[in-house]
Structure 1
Amino acid sequence: MATHNTRSTGRLHDVDSAAEYLRCGRRLIYRLVAERKVRFTYAGRSLRFWQSDLDAYLDARVVEPAAPTTSRR
């Protein structure tokens, strides 16, 4: 199991700011947590998200462009 270094330079988001950062609704944030699709932590009973984990979620969803096809005649 990998351990995380302290993220003293990263921003810690709550649900509202994570939703704003990802430009989605709070409902999607809670769904991503329930489906374990984004890393999260707790501050007491409140969910928190490191910005680097939100960035990793976005990076994992990047779709690369298709290679150009050669037309056959």
Structure 2
Amino acid sequence: KDQRDLELLPARIEELEAAIAKGEAILSDPTLYTADPQRFANISQGIENARAEKDAAEERWLELAEQAEA
């Protein structure tokens, strides 16, 4: 399981980074908040969740990489 995680996590981290960038691009629209505050809130929450998952995935990957080196 650890070896599989070590192999799959970099791709998952890239997916999360892309999702974060896409969300941030949408939020860069200055009219979004006034036009659709619920969408703005949903996208903001999605970015927050993606960042948390990305941070956890990066930590897990680093732990596994250190174990693989040892």
Structure with greater strand percent: 1
**Normalised by the shorter chain, which TM-score bucket?**
under 0.3
Larger radius of gyration: 1
TM-score with structure 1 length normalisation? 0.27
